[in-house]
Structure 1
């Protein structure tokens, strides 16, 4: 009876705290401790016991967000099993939902929540809220770094943003126009007039290493500026693009190489196109579960792993040009084959050295790209830094989903 009474008090406190929440909620789940903790900034809003996936159906660890919410849902994988107050994390079948808690991992991969708690949590969250799943428990802490984004007004000091060349992606047609704010200085007066700004939806930012498709897309663009017909900049190494690369090599006396995208070729191509060097990183933006744009960045010391980090803006004041950031560093042990493919010599196994701040210090973001992002920054915008880029769970109707790997036993 005492346990039921304590649970009732817990849920009552949870509900009242949710109404007073000031910022975006974050949900942290520890598989080792079988617990779930809800944070509003640094404040713990609620905690509960959970039941995650049993052996053979392990709940994946990583960075997720709530993609879909249904008060009543039936599993299409396991005999229409009921999943009340379902909050979907992946389209492959991982979700939070009400279920039995035997005191140990017992689900088929989902995270089961206690009766009552599942309903209350469902009422607190919104689509897009982040869910971080780890083995050992972690908690968000304040992060300050010069490389973190600072919100700004779309018109700053009377100037307009330059038309930086960014790679467009499929933009969601339903995105409403964003009202902008500007500072107008009336004649004969130093008074400043502010127009109310409508905050855009939160950004999802992923900073990672470049893939071959990113490199090929740049090669096609640069070859086109130099008069070679490489086709559209789609990142696909087709016959038309290969022919253009061979033509460039022949014209510039570059000897045949086993690699079509050799370092010698890339260096010569970027130099002729007036760009310093091939970038080593890529920054990608999503908004409202749809790709928005991407742009190249540089990762210094690319032979060292970046590690996996999640950082979220929990307070944004555009007029004061201030933002508060909180985040965590996650365990993510890359297989030797993955490290070799990515050119990583030093893995990020020591979180005290390979921290989020250390990763941010190695990333160079062009000023034009930074300006574009900072005019769109809003509360709840997040940054994921990862060596492995877009995983298979990221797709249509998702944020960036990063699945991490546990350290091999033994």
Structure 2
């Protein structure tokens, strides 16, 4: 929940006393007077004062009235008209998700919804509209026109809105079990984030690590030296974290580029080696063709010589003998040339086979060299991607660092949920004392730092309690004696939640004015999603 702005404080009243009384009578309640405001708040407020701290808006469906509270108490109130039968306004813990001065319904024929402040993405909102004095809307909370303008200017996105049956009001609370922030402190010397990250180790989990930096609070304190962790020292560490991550990303990208250049050269060398093998293999193929052709020619010449010898075995006459001898010389020369060509081709084949073997070996070595560089390049690219993701995560965390956190402690789910700036940043299993006994629904809001800055001032609203039969209630086979059940008060609620010290230390960094803690019997509402805070609905 974000802190509210600081417009001039004034108690809103409808224009004209008669109109105010008429609206109040139609709503079936008495108008809130200055005396009522003083009764509801221990700190009376004048119209000249400014709104102090985060606002809490409480809507009472039974009384058909809205009240605005700040750190000092009641700011203002006005009548409303909530959802009629069949379109009941949901009860629960909401925040303002969207604000538009001019808005038109996309569910009900473009009906105007001036000064719209959205509570759910399913269609529930605060806006100006007719007030007949009873529930008449399609689920939204209608406000008087001038009050809707006043409220619109008073709130910020993330403002807390509690919708209940009966009117409720926040009360100041101080309890040792409430979460505490880090002390203010002074920033230490520059901290190297890399050493902090290394301290966490590869086995770090969300339960053992800091929400933003990735190290435990204990490890961070150890790395920071003997000085105690403070808001200032952690802020310095976070700033250094961004510097270190930027440097890491630059180094990773440079390394990726350098290895990429090596990879390009290695690929060229490998392609050249492969081409050399292919060239030699083509030459070997040509030699094989020559060997085959020469062998065939030799065989043919041998056949010709055999035929010649058979034909001229008994030749007579000088002229015939001379002619036969000339033909014999021609055949012998032809045969000798073919034999020489064949033997040379065989020699070439042998040489080419050795050459191909050598070139294949060289190509294999080039491939191994290229593959080694490729593995380095892949690792460098992964490192660059991881560094980029880490930097992006750190930047997002840094952007939301000044925003308060919302903590939901659910008895139903036995879980703690933490959101900051609509992002889930932490989740852990927790235990409740008397887990079968209802705890109610209570909203604690951090109003401001104490005077010394070492703690927070809180107020709490009990939004609803669960009734239990006076006799007994059987849950999971056990009988709960109602006489022994703890009362459903904010103090008892915070006492019943067992939050490990390690988690308290982790959350301490992010606690600030505007942060809230919701302790409830209910689970997280299905309305909780992207671009919402933690939403709880109850019966």
Which category describes the TM-score, using the shorter chain as reference length?
0.5 to 0.7
CA contact (8 A) 2:184 2:454 kept: no
Q: 2:529 aligns with which of 384, 395, 398?
A: 395
CA contact (8 A) 2:187 2:232 kept: no
Aligned to 1:166: 206
Give the aligned partner of residue 88 of structure 1. Answer: 118
Aligned pair in 2 of structure 1 residues 301, 380: CA closer, same or farther (>3 Å)?
same
Q: How far 1:359 moved relative to its partner? A: 1.6
Aligned residues, how many? 309
Distance 2:508 2:416 in 1: 14
Equivalent residues of 1:61, 1:135 under 8 A apart: yes
2:465–2:488 Cα contact (<8 Å) kept: no
Q: Distance in 2 between matches of 1:349 and 1:120?
A: 46
Q: Tell me how far apart the structure 2 counterparts of residues 123 and 384 of structure 1 sit (CA, whole Å).
A: 26
Q: For structure 1, list consecutive stretches of 5 or more residues without a partner in the other structure.
A: 173-178, 184-197, 212-280, 406-410
2:110 matches 1:110? no
Q: How far is 1:21 from its partner? A: 1.1
Q: 1:389 offset after TM fit, Å?
A: 1.8
Q: Which residue of 1 aligns with 2:78?
A: 48
Question: 2:434 corresponds to which residue?
Answer: 301
Aligned positions of 1:358-397 closer than 5 A: 358-397=492-531
SS of structure 2 residue aligned to 1:38: strand
Cα separation, 1, equivalents of 2:73 and 2:486: 24
Separation in structure 2 between the aligned mates of residue 350 and residue 312 of structure 1, nearest angstrom? 29
Classify 1:353/1:36 alpha carbon distance in 2 versus 1 (closer, same or farther; 3 Å): same
- Residues 1:349 and 1:204: Cα distance change in structure 2 (over 3 Å): farther
* Cα shift readout 1:74-107 (whole Å, capped 9, x = no counterpart): 1111111110100000111110000000111100
TM-score of the superposed pair, with normalisation by structure 2: 0.51
2:410 aligned to which of 190, 208, 213: 208
Residue of structure 1 equivalent to 2:454 = 321
Relative to structure 1, is the Cα distance of residues 341 and 82 closer, same or farther in structure 2, using a 3 angstrom cutoff? farther
Are the equivalent residues in 1 in contact too, given 2:184–2:453 (CA < 8 A)? Answer: no
SS of the residue 1:122 aligns to:
helix
Q: Note the C-alpha offset of 1:138.
A: 0.6
Match among 230, 233, 237 for residue 182 of structure 1: 233
Task: Give the aligned CA root-mean-square deviation in angstroms.
Answer: 4.0
Partner of 2:67: 37
Write 1 or 2 for the structure with the bigger share of helix: 2
Aligned residue in 2 for 1:129: 159
Call closer, same or farther: CA 1:393–1:335 in 2, change over 3 Å: farther
Superposition TM-score, scaled by structure 1 size: 0.66
Shift of 1:361: 1.2
The 8 Å contact of residues 297 and 364 in structure 1, kept in 2 or not, is answered as: yes
**In the alignment, what sits opposite 1:144?**
174
Q: Please give the alpha-carbon distance, in whole angstroms, between the structure 2 residues aligned to 1:344 and 1:388.
A: 20
- Cα offset, 1:322, TM superposition: 2.0
Q: Aligned residue for 1:255?
A: none
Tell which deviates more after alignment, 147-156 or 27-36. 147-156
